[in-house]
Amino acid sequence: MIWGDIKMYQDERKLDFKPLGRALEKAREGKGWTQEYLAQLVDRTPRSIMYIENRGQHPSLNKFYLFVTLLDISVDQFFFPSDESSGSNRRNQVDFMLNAMDEKELIVMEATAEGLKKARGTEK
């Protein structure tokens, strides 16, 4: 066996942290936390929190874990994004937005969905 002829598989995909940064900011604000407060909780500077939220800077794995557990952020949509050509992309985007909502916002969305369902049932 000649090792020079074997090509190792390397996944060239890169995790885009900009959507995660937006989710982190929304979840942080939903809890009423400032960047300074979150920075203290995870032993970072407020500037590093700003860079993660606004520029998609990559946190370390340990800090990433702290962020998502402290702020209850689901990471599936970041690690397993849907195929852009699939018909469920819009549903995934809506799911992402729903996951970022607080209880009051979810009540409004539930009432809106019920209203749409009722209106659809009355159409002929």
Residue 1 in domain:
no
Looking at the predicted structure, is the pLDDT value of residue 33 above 90?
yes
Helices (H), 56-88: 61-70, 76-79
Residue 7 in domain:
no
Looking at the predicted structure, is the pLDDT value of residue 20 above 80?
yes
Give the number of other Cβ atoms within 10 Å of residue 77's Cβ: 17
Residue 50 in domain:
yes
60: domain CATH number?
1.10.260.40
Please give the model's pTM, rounded to 2 decimal places. 0.57
Residue 74 confidence class, pLDDT cut points 50, 70, 90: confident
Q: Helix (H) and strand (E) counts for the chain?
A: 7, 0
Mean pLDDT of 68-93: 72
Residue 29 in domain:
yes
Looking at the predicted structure, is the pLDDT value of residue 26 above 70?
yes
Cβ-Cβ contacts under 8 Å for 90 (sequence gap 6 or more): none
Residue 2 in domain:
no
Residue 46 confidence class, pLDDT cut points 50, 70, 90: very high
What domain range is 48 assigned to?
14-122
Average pLDDT of the chain?
82
Looking at the predicted structure, is the pLDDT value of residue 80 above 90?
no
Number of domains in the chain: 1
